Amino acid sequence: MIMRTLNLLLFISVAFLILTSCEPIIEHKPPQITDQTFFIEENSANGTLVGTVFATDADNDTLLKFFIIDGNSDNVFTLDSISGDIRVSDSSYLDYETHTNFELRVKVVDNGVENLSDTAKVKINVNDVLEIKYLLAYYPFNRNANDESGNKNHGVVYGATSSPDRKGNPYSAYKFDGVNDYISVLRFGDNLPADEISVSLWVKSAASTTQFQLMLVPDQNRFAVSVDYLHNDVNSVFWDYGWQGEGGYAPGRLFDFDQSMDYKWHHYVFISSVSRDFMKMYKDGVLLVQNTEPMPLMQNAGKEMRIGSADNRWFTNGMIDDIRIYSKVLSENEIADLYKE
């Protein structure tokens, strides 16, 4: 009887061991995170939310935590370990001209027994913002020739008439008769930089002729823009900054010949940079021509800027609008934004 009882207990023990050994083993899976991209405007304030890092966990019963493990040596950003929120920590680094993007390496860890993890690249692109601190003058021509940059480089209108702009808004551009109309901005030469400049404006010409849309007068060491200029019977565009008048291909001058004449509004950007050794010309957001040999603008103190003419000659026949003058080189993104405005 005792032997039978012992055998029964042994059988039950063996059966229990067999059954428990056949139970499925639960495999703990690591969390998963993929590469992600966010965008932030330059000069955004500290604390600004850049984006929220996202990760998944097949187990669904573990808490995920996030950490920056590379790419943030200057502590430009913070990452909330629980929410995954990335925020600006040092806005001084958010300058498009020095940093167009940042690449962080982010690690996600679960709170399982093994603390499994995964990593991914998080790219933060800095959006270019056209900063007002570089804006020397802005003439939207809304019923007047006032400078809306805040620098008070206001113009005085002589003959030009307020007209609809390219969008049909009334009294939002100026029309010049090609005979004696112009706008005068006194002592504008005091504001012009010697090294870097960008000029943006809209032009709708009524004819291809000998005409200037902008010129610093008296005309020495020239600063001038000439769109739809008839040169040797060819429609042309000229950009002079620091040009000394030594001939067509002299330093400080950029031009493009054989331009089509369609009597429509077109956007132009003219750039000169001595430090970067180039001059550039854009039309409707597209690079038209570029060259080296820029020249510094000299002897400009006290000079008047004429809009719609040269020095009492070569008057514009057509319309001008939205003149902006910057003491910096505009980026292609900034040029595209101005064209799409």
CATH number, domain of 49, equals 2.60.40.60
Q: Do 290 and 232 belong together in one domain?
A: yes
Cα 221 to chain centroid, rounded: 31
194 falls within a domain: yes
Q: Do 123 and 136 belong together in one domain?
A: no
Domain tally, the chain: 2
Does the predicted model carry a pTM greater than 0.85? Answer: no
Distances (CA, A) of 116 to 62, 67, 83, 84, 119: 10, 14, 18, 17, 11
Burial class (CB in 10 A: 0-12, 13-18, 19+), 119: middle
Give the whole-angstrom CA distance, residue 252 versus residue 277.
11
Please report, for the domain that includes residue 302, its CATH number: 2.60.120.200
Q: What confidence score (pLDDT) does residue 99 get? A: 87
Query: Are the CB atoms for 192 and 184 separated by under 8 Å?
Result: no
Q: Do 117 and 187 belong together in one domain?
A: no
10-residue averages of pLDDT along the chain (341 residues): 54 51 65 92 92 87 88 95 95 86 94 86 87 91 96 97 97 98 97 94 97 95 95 94 79 89 96 96 97 91 96 96 96 93 87
Provide the domain limits for residue 113: 36-127
Query: Are the CB atoms for 174 and 320 separated by under 8 Å?
Result: yes
Q: Do 152 and 215 belong together in one domain?
A: yes
Residue-wise burial string across 45-58, b where 16 or more C-beta atoms lie within 10 A, e elsewhere: eeeeebbebebebe
Q: Do 93 and 170 belong together in one domain?
A: no
- Last residue within a domain, chosen from 89, 105, 127: 127
Name which of 76, 78, 80, 70 is nearest 95 in CA terms: 76
70 falls within a domain: yes
